[in-house]
Amino acid sequence: MTDGMDCTDYSVLMSVYEKEDASNLAQSMESIFFQTVPANDFVLVCDGPLTPALEEVIRDYSFRYPDILHVVRLSENRGLGEALNAGLTHCRNELVARMDSDDWSYPDRCEKQLRMFSRYPDADIVSGAIEEFTEDPDVITGIRSLPPDPIAIRRFSRKRNPFNHPAVMFRKKAVTDAGGYNERFHLFEDYYLWIRMLQNDCKGYNITSPVLKMRTSEEQMLRRGGWRYTKEMLAFHRWILRTHWSKPLDYLTGALPHAVVCLLPNRLRLKVYRMLR
C-alpha cells in the first residue's frame, strides 16, 4: 500500500485531559519537538476542559511552534478513542505518529519509523519496543518487545496485542478504512483496531530496539485485573475467535491463562506482571 508520498512528512497525534500532570505534558511534547526528523504537523486534542497549568503548557508551545501545533478542543471529555478519531481528521499527513501526554520519545524514534516505511512500502503500521518507568525516566522498570515482521505479528495477535500503542506510527487511510478507534471493547480499543486493520490485509512491523519510554504505575497494572477487566478481555477474545482470526487453541492457551492472572489477588498479580516485564 504505497502512494508515492514523501516519507519525511508526518503528523503527531496526542490527546490530553484534565487529570494529566502539566510537567509530564511538557516533557512529552518537548520529546516530539526535538526529534531528529521533526514533524511538520502536531495535532493536540484537548479532551474536555483542562486545568490552568495544562493550558499554560499549551499556550507556551503554541507560541513557540505556531505553524506546527494545532489544538483541537472537545467541549466535554469523550475518552481516548473518540478524541483520537476527532484529532485524526485534522492530521495533514498520511503518516501519523501516536504520542501519549505522559510518555517520552527517543530523539530518533520517528526517524527510525520513517526509515521503516521507506524500506517496506507495504507497511501500514510501525511500532517498536518501549521501556517502562514510574517516576524517573532513567530508571527503567521493564521492557515491552514484540515480534518484528508481518507473519510473526499476525500469529502473535491471535493471543496478545501485537503493537505498543503509545509508540505506533500508521497510515491514516489504513486506520480510517478499518473504521478508526471504536469503543465496543473499551479497555482494548487499540488491540481491537489492530485486529481490524490486520483483517484488512494491512502489514505491520515492530522495531526491536526501544523507541519510547512509557510512564506506568502499580495502579495501572492493578487496573488490568478484576471481574470487569476479565469479562471484557474474554469477550474481546471470543470476538477474535468468532471472526476466525484466532483458533480455539489460541483462546485456550492465551485468553484463559490471562483470565486466571487477572483474577489473582492484587499483590500476586503485580508479581506476575513484574516477572513478565
Using one digit for the tens of pLDDT, what is the confidence trace for 233-275? Answer: 999 999 999 999 999 999 999 999 889 888 887 777 767 666 6
Average confidence (pLDDT) over 72-79: 96
Residue 37 lies in a domain: yes
Q: Which of 53-57, 85-89, 161-165, 258-262 has the lowest mean pLDDT?
A: 258-262
**Residues 62 and 196 placed together within one structural domain of the fold:** yes
Residue 239 lies in a domain: yes
pLDDT at 261: 84
Instruction: Read off the C-alpha cell for 185.
Output: 471493547
Residues 190-216: pLDDT tens digits? 999 999 999 999 999 999 999 999 998
Instruction: Read off the C-alpha cell for 98.
Output: 501516536
**Residues 243 and 169 placed together within one structural domain of the fold:** no
pLDDT above 70 coverage of the chain, percent: 92
- Can you tell me whether residue 203 is helix, strand or coil? strand
Residue 90 lies in a domain: yes
- Tally of CB atoms within 10 A around 254: 17
Domain's final residue, options 216, 236, 256: 216
Residue type, 75: S
Residue 5 lies in a domain: no
- Can you tell me whether residue 31 is helix, strand or coil? helix
15: which strand partners? 45
**Residues 203 and 272 placed together within one structural domain of the fold:** no
pLDDT surpasses 80 at 46: yes
**For position 127, which CATH number holds?**
3.90.550.10
**Residues 37 and 94 placed together within one structural domain of the fold:** yes
pLDDT at 1: 38
Residue 266 lies in a domain: yes
User: Mean pLDDT score of the chain, rounded to an integer?
Assistant: 92
Residue 6 lies in a domain: no
Look at strands 41-47 and 69-74 and give their pairing.
parallel
Residues 85-124: pLDDT tens digits? 999 999 999 999 999 999 999 999 999 999 999 999 999 9
Nearest to 29 by CA among 108, 96, 90, 103: 103
Residue 4 lies in a domain: no
**Residues 160 and 257 placed together within one structural domain of the fold:** no
Domain interval for residue 263: 222-276
**Residues 136 and 271 placed together within one structural domain of the fold:** no
pLDDT at 277: 60
Residue 2 lies in a domain: no
**Residues 129 and 34 placed together within one structural domain of the fold:** yes
- Can you tell me whether residue 21 is helix, strand or coil? coil
**Residues 61 and 197 placed together within one structural domain of the fold:** yes
**Residues 243 and 145 placed together within one structural domain of the fold:** no
pLDDT at 4: 40
| Domains in the chain, number | 2
**Residues 146 and 34 placed together within one structural domain of the fold:** yes
**Residues 183 and 69 placed together within one structural domain of the fold:** yes
Instruction: Kindly provide the residue ranges of all beta strands, DSSP E only, lying in 57-94, ordered along the sequence.
Output: 69-74
pLDDT at 216: 85
**Residues 198 and 89 placed together within one structural domain of the fold:** yes
Instruction: Read off the C-alpha cell for 84.
Output: 483520537
- Return d(Cα 201, Cα 182) in angstroms, integer: 19
pLDDT-based confidence at 221, cuts 50/70/90? low
